[in-house]
A and B are shown apart, each in its own frame.
Chain A
């Protein structure tokens, strides 16, 4: 029973490097999302998807790309990392069938951009 799996757990990048944060869920959830967590700011939505082939921007989308080619996977791409992207990133998913569906979170990725 894996739930939401995020990789890697830790990553250090140099400014300008690119990388992809992976997120996979095995619960057949339609909704998947990426959040970043910064001190004193709670969780801010980066991008989200309500199904395969459908993505949309959240509160802080600049500098990030996403795609949703399958129901299970929702990778987050940093095309040219900047120090402002140093943060903890969480992937989360939920079903869309009923109103009281809760979010399930991955274990987080701690990213440092030097």
Chain B
């Protein structure tokens, strides 16, 4: 089973700050990289699924980039808001199954 690493484990920012997280994954046999947003007491919801090296995806103030050759993806949040507080998970597709990282817990203070 491969290793998907996320950093930092947790992050506390002020409203209006911009922030970013990292997801590292094995660079060989790449298929797809997923990002999910997981609010407390809810189920994870997909933000992005990225399949091509150099991919950039954007959804409102949240964007993500992908480097399959070096095995990392960045998730950016511009102008964080309290409603962005959640755990952000990345997942790597390997042999048909999705393996998740341990997540980055973001807390945005008003």
Contact = CB atoms under 8 A, between A and B. Distances in A.
Contact of A50 (B44, B96, B100): B96
B46 A59 contact: no
Contacts of B46: 102-103
Interface in A40-63: 40-45, 48, 50, 56, 58-59
B43 A42 contact: no
A42 B45 CA distance: 14
Interface residues of B, number: 25
Contact of A59 (B1, B34, B89, B96): B1
Contact of A35 (B34, B51, B100): B100
Contacts of B43: 90, 105-108
Interface stretch (A20-28, A67-75, A93-101): A93-101
Contact of A43 (B9, B44, B45, B51): B44
A99 B98 contact: no
B49 A42 contact: no
B97 interface: yes
B49 A102 contact: yes
Interface residues of A, number: 26
A100 B100 contact: no
B99 interface: yes
B102 interface: yes
Nearest to A50: B96
A110 to B, nearest CB: 10
A48 B101 CA distance: 17
B23 to A, nearest CB: 11
B35 to A, nearest CB: 10
A58 to B, nearest CB: 6
A40 B87 CA distance: 11
B31 A99 contact: yes
Nearest to A98: B51
Interface of A: 31, 33, 35, 40-45, 48, 50, 56, 58-59, 90, 92, 96, 99-103, 105-108
